[in-house]
């Protein structure tokens, strides 16, 4: 992990789940699911449209892919922790070993790299190399079909809840 010097003290993993290097995309997950799969669809989703899953899932080993796959204190970041990363760090679009993404520099000068890994819809990979989509653990409480995501392209970065829970997106774990 990397301590970016954030006010919360939260540490960010150096790689996505399933990745062996910081620039690798790793595995893709539907929101609230702990196993990756080959195809992502509405009908194959465990949480899409289901109100009972309109809860914060950080640290829940049955719903949080980071906790289920990495164990220990690893978990998915919340919407608020993603906002802290956005608001307190410097973001610079770079290419690392041929992979586009953001170098994110914390207040203390330490860095992580978030690859522009795109997202999976059905069995297709969309926007890899130009956009990054990373699940947070926070659902859209008012709409059981979406959850909050950290998203970016070369000219912007932020959070939104447009992510359909069945989309395959990467997860960058955090630890206290």
* Mean of all residue pLDDT scores within the chain: 97
pLDDT at 142 over 90: no
In Å, how far from its chain's centre is CA 16?
A: 8
Q: CB–CB of 42/51 below 8 Å?
A: no
- The 10s digit of each residue's pLDDT in 7-56 is 999 999 999 999 999 999 999 999 999 999 999 999 999 999 999 999 99
pTM of the model: 0.97
- Report the C-alpha gap between 101 and 128 in whole angstroms: 10
List of residues 6+ apart from 56 with CB closer than 8 A: 78, 137, 138, 139
Please report, for residues 34, 115, 156, the alpha-carbon distance to residue 66 in angstroms, rounded to integers and kept in the order given.
8, 18, 26
Share of the chain above pLDDT 90, in %: 97
Q: For residue 14, which of 3, 27, 28 has the smallest C-alpha distance?
A: 3
Q: For residue 53, which of 38, 41, 64, 66 has the smallest C-alpha distance?
A: 64
Average of pLDDT values for 48-72?
97
pLDDT at 141 over 90: no
Structure-token match 């799969």, residue found: 37
SS3 124: strand
Share of the chain above pLDDT 70, in %: 100
pLDDT for position 116: 98
Average of pLDDT values for 102-127?
98
- Report the C-alpha gap between 109 and 78 in whole angstroms: 23
């Amino acid at each position: 992990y990397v301590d970016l010097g954030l006010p919360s003290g939260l540490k960010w993993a150096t790689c996505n789940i399933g990745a062996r290097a910081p620039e690798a995309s790793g595995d893709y997950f539907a929101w609230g699911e702990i196993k990756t799969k080959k195809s992502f669809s509405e009908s194959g989703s465990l949480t899409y449209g289901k109100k009972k899953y309109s809860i914060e899932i950080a640290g829940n080993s049955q719903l949080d892919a980071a906790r289920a796959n990495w164990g220990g204190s690893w978990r998915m970041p919340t919407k608020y922790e993603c906002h802290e990363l956005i608001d307190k760090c410097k973001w610079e679009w770079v290419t690392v070993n041929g992979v586009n993404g953001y170098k994110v520099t914390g207040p203390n000068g330490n860095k992580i790299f978030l690859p522009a890994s795109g997202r999976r819809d059905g069995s297709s990979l969309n926007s890899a190399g130009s956009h990054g989509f990373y699940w947070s653990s926070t659902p859209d409480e008012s709409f059981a079909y979406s959850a909050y995501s950290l998203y970016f392209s070369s000219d912007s970065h932020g959070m939104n809840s447009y992510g359909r829970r069945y989309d395959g997106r990467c997860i960058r774990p955090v630890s206290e």
